[in-house]
């Protein structure tokens, strides 16, 4: 009797192993075969870098190193698979930060588009090691139906390699290009907050939330602790051709002396305007954890600089008050500085209406 039970256990284990083997992807495809959104430059040292090689030695070492983190980059593809695997390797062993989980620092997020065009969360890939992390997802839908997907990359780590796997018989292919009125990206330059600190997972970075809400690519040029409005960075960013530039540097640049902040901000805006005479530029005031507090001095300096530029004749320059970007109850941060997911949602909601109005006007003109 006992022997019979033992053989039953053995056979059950054998079948379980075979079933597990049968569920392994029969096809792995490099993410580079599909559309990579959130990249400003096609030619980069790694497919998942944010700055081109020409920036190395021109921008500061801090900015260059941070540009090799894959914040804001997403893979767009379509598939009829009911099981999707993602395998990714990282560039560093810094899986998490003291105030930010590994799921956001080094993880991946999969979203799918519903029939009503809304994007819904499918799942998060949790990183366990530097090389060959694997996550399995079970997206909703019927067998044989093609669905569109967005796969967001790590926010505070670099992506060394990225592959997507499906079972034999499942289709996976590139997505059609966006329509012309939705294809031109927004360029968002800012601090650690813009880079994605401290979202619990990549899809919750406010720039990624906005990208889904606006249904438009957003190039995330957030550089943790390093958004200092340097002229070298302005020169590089001015190479891009977005529908809108957003400058949200005050969380870092407020540390500059007032005269230097004014000079750098003015020069940065003029550099962009020299190459893009009509492209809107939005200047975001410094966000406040408690909106009832007095405005930050840096926000007032920025407003004065913008007014001076407008008096000189500059058009299409906009200001957004950052006071309420964290929400109104003081619960929007992890540490009093960096947004939690609630704060990220508040940022996105606080920005969305202004971005939509500026873009509508731009498309109309």
CATH number at residue 307: 3.40.50.1110
pLDDT at 297: 92
Phi-psi region of 236 (alpha: psi -120 to 50; beta: other; left: phi over 0): alpha
CA dihedral 183, 35, 339, 56 (to 10 degrees): -100
pLDDT at 290: 76
The distance from CA 105 to its chain's CA centroid, rounded to whole angstroms, is: 12
Q: Are residues 193 and 214 in the same domain?
A: yes
pLDDT at 4: 52
Whether 264 maps to a domain, the answer reads yes
pLDDT at 303: 97
Q: Are residues 218 and 252 in the same domain?
A: yes
Q: Are residues 217 and 99 in the same domain?
A: no
Q: Are residues 156 and 223 in the same domain?
A: no
Whether 313 maps to a domain, the answer reads yes
Q: Are residues 254 and 162 in the same domain?
A: no
Whether 219 maps to a domain, the answer reads yes
For residues 80 and 168, the answer to whether their CB atoms sit within 8 Å is no
pLDDT at 343: 96
Domain final position from 151, 174, 197: 174
Identify the H or E element spanning 15: helix 2-22
Tokens of 108: 């991946």
Tokens of 302: 């920025």
Task: Please give the chain's pLDDT, 365 residues, in tens.
Answer: 444 544 444 344 333 333 334 478 888 999 999 999 999 999 999 999 999 999 999 999 999 999 999 999 999 999 999 999 999 999 999 999 999 999 999 999 999 999 899 999 999 999 999 999 999 999 998 878 999 999 999 999 999 999 999 999 999 999 988 998 999 999 999 999 999 999 999 999 999 999 999 999 999 999 999 999 999 999 999 999 999 999 999 999 999 999 999 999 999 999 999 999 999 999 999 998 876 677 789 999 999 999 999 999 999 999 999 988 998 788 999 999 999 999 999 999 999 999 999 999 999 98
Q: Cα–Cα distance between 208 and 220 in angstroms, integer?
A: 9
pLDDT at 8: 45
pLDDT at 311: 97
Q: Are residues 271 and 287 in the same domain?
A: yes
Domain final position from 123, 151, 174: 174
Q: How far is CA 206 from CA 86, 102, 114, 279, 354, in A?
A: 23, 18, 21, 22, 14
Whether 251 maps to a domain, the answer reads yes
Q: Where are the beta strands (DSSP E) in the chain?
A: 27-30, 35-37, 74-79, 84-90, 108-113, 119-125, 133-137, 147-152, 159-166, 172-174, 186-190, 218-222, 244-248, 281-284, 317-320
- Decide: residue 52, CB within 10 A, 0-12 exposed, 13-18 middle, 19+ buried: middle
Domain final position from 147, 174, 201: 174
pLDDT at 82: 94
pLDDT at 119: 97
Whether 82 maps to a domain, the answer reads yes
Q: For the chain, what is the radius of gyration of the CA atoms?
A: 22
Q: Are residues 221 and 191 in the same domain?
A: yes
pLDDT at 319: 98
> Which range of residues forms the domain containing residue 189?
180-364
Domain count, the chain: 2
Q: Cα–Cα distance between 205 and 362 in angstroms, integer?
A: 25
CATH code, 91: 2.60.120.260
Whether 104 maps to a domain, the answer reads yes
């Amino acid at each position: 009797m006992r022997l019979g039970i033992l053989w039953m256990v053995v056979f059950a284990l054998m079948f379980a192993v075979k079933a597990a083997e049968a569920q392994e992807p029969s096809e792995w495809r490099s993410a580079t075969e599909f559309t990579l959104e959130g990249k400003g430059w096609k030619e980069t040292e790694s497919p998942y870098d944010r700055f081109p090689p020409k920036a190395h030695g021109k921008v500061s070492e801090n900015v260059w190193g941070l540009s090799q983190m894959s914040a804001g980059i997403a893979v767009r593809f379509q598939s009829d698979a009911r099981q999707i695997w993602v395998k990714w390797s990282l560039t560093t062993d810094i899986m998490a930060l003291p105030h930010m989980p590994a799921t956001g620092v080094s993880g991946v997020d999969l979203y799918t588009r519903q029939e009503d065009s809304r994007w819904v969360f499918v799942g998060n890939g949790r990183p366990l090691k530097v090389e060959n992390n694997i996550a399995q997802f079970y997206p909703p839908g019927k067998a044989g139906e093609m669905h569109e997907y967005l796969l967001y990359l790590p926010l505070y780590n670099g992506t060394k390699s990225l592959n997507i796997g499906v079972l034999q018989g499942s289709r996976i292919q590139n997505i059609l290009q966006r329509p012309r009125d939705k294809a031109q990206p927004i360029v968002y330059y800012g601090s650690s907050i813009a880079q994605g600190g401290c979202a619990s997972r990549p899809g919750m970075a406010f720039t990624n939330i906005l990208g889904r809400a606006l249904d438009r690519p957003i190039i995330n040029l957030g550089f943790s602790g390093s958004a200092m409005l340097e002229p070298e960075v302005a020169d590089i960013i001015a190479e891009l051709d977005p529908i809108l530039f957003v400058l949200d540097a005050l969380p870092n640049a407020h540390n500059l002396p007032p005269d230097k902040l004014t000079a750098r901000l003015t020069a940065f805006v003029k550099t962009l305007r020299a190459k893009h005479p009509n492209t809107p530029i939005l200047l975001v005031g410094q966000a406040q954890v408690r909106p009832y507090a007095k405005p930050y001095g840096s926000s007032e300096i920025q407003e004065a600089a913008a007014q001076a530029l407008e008096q000189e004749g500059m058009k299409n320059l906009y200001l957004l008050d950052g006071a309420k970007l964290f929400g109104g109850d003081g619960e929007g941060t992890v540490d009093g500085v960096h947004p939690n997911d609630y704060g990220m949602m508040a940022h996105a909601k606080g920005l969305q209406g202004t971005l939509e109005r500026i873009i509508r006007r731009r498309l109309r003109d």
